[in-house]
């Protein structure tokens, strides 16, 4: 009952530390940026482009697509040339740093093999996304932020006109799928840690995009429903046609124990009635869990192509 000035308890809660304000405003700026619009537009265009299509179907393969596959084959060959070293800790094999140093050195040259001479000036900027897309050499980890850098790399190649609208299916089925194979080999060979993993609550330790595009491939499939992807027999028989099932196969090879325990989020998704609902839900989840999470996006590089 005294007339003393008392700070209402609520007000104390609203004193945000300086760094926090920047983080919040940076995230708001990022969501309004041209880069975000272009990146998300690119992901959704490809999502539409592969709808209802199998990995094994016929599609146009242009010269730049062939060159990108050759680039990824080079990265694959370097893994064979850089075997893991003997070390006390089980995870994060230091040989990855040797492999990465080679990429760091050669990235611009590799990119120059993909883009025509008259666009050579773009190579240094595009190469940054390639280097960012294979994991972190200090921490020896890999996650969805690195995967996003590879999608940004492909997006930049579209923006400078190297990849075209009719390359859509080949971008996902030939290039991105080859990228996944190389990343899985990196993860296995050098025992890479998941970057920013949410453990059992994340969709997957390392990837996200193949689940989006992979679920789009399965939309309106005559007999494969979301409930089927937890069936080992179905996965073994169909994984070569569908990216989503390829991801499930890799998870079951890498993890032991009941699927519902080690991949709880995916187990929940298997209860969704249709692939189109799965696809829409995954796009929402990707925005919320990857693109709008500061720990993931703080490493995203901006330039003249993704401003």
Average pLDDT per consecutive 10 residues, the chain (307 residues; last block may be shorter): 47 47 81 95 98 97 98 98 94 96 98 96 96 96 95 97 96 98 96 76 87 98 96 96 96 90 92 97 94 88 93
**Tens of pLDDT along 122-171?**
999 999 999 999 999 999 999 999 999 999 999 999 999 999 999 999 99
How far is it, in rounded angstroms, from Cα 281 to Cα 285? 6
pLDDT for the residue 244: 97
pLDDT for the residue 24: 81
pLDDT for the residue 144: 92
Q: pTM of this prediction? A: 0.91
Mapping DSSP onto H, E and C, the string for 135-166 reads CECCCCEECHHHHHHHHHHHHHHHHCCCCCHH
How far is it, in rounded angstroms, from Cα 183 to Cα 176? 10
How far is it, in rounded angstroms, from Cα 191 to Cα 185? 9
Closest Cα to residue 137, out of 193, 54, 181, 83?
Answer: 193
Domain limits, the chain:
18-302
Q: What angle do CA 259, 198, 299 make, to 5 degrees?
A: 135
- Tell me the fold of 18-302: 1.20.120
Q: What Cα–Cα distance (Å) separates residue 68 from each residue in 24, 44, 107, 302? A: 37, 21, 12, 22
How far is it, in rounded angstroms, from Cα 248 to Cα 229? 7
């Amino acid at each position: 009952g005294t007339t003393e000035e008392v700070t209402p308890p609520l007000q104390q809660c609203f004193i945000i530390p300086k760094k926090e304000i920047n983080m919040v405003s940076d995230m708001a700026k990022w969501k309004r940026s041209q880069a975000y619009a272009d990146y998300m537009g690119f992901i959704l265009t490809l999502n539409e482009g592969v709808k209802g299509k199998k990995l094994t179907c016929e599609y146009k393969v242009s010269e730049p697509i062939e060159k990108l596959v050759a680039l990824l084959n080079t990265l694959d060959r370097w893994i064979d040339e850089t075997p893991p070293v003997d070390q006390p800790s089980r995870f994060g094999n230091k040989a990855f740093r040797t492999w990465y140093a080679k990429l760091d050195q050669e990235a611009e040259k590799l990119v120059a093999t993909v883009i025509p001479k008259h666009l050579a000036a773009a190579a240094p900027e595009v190469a940054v996304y390639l280097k960012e897309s294979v994991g972190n050499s200090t921490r020896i980890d890999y996650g969805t932020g690195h995967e996003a850098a590879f999608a940004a790399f492909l997006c930049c190649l579209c923006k400078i006109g190297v990849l075209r609208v009719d390359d859509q299916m080949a971008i996902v089925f030939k290039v991105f799928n080859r990228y996944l194979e190389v990343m899985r080999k990196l993860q296995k060979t050098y025992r890479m840690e998941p970057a920013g993993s949410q453990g059992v609550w994340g969709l997957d330790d390392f990837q996200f995009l193949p689940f989006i595009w992979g679920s789009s491939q399965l939309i309106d499939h005559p007999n494969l429903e979301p409930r089927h992807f937890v069936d080992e027999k179905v996965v073994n028989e169909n994984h070569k046609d569908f990216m989503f099932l390829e991801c499930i196969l890799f998870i079951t090879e890498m993890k032991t124990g009941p699927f519902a325990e080690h991949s709880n989020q995916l187990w929940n998704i298997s209860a969704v009635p249709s692939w189109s609902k799965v696809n829409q839900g995954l796009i929402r989840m990707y925005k919320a869990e990857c693109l709008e999470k500061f720990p993931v996006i703080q490493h995203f590089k901006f330039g003249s192509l993704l401003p």
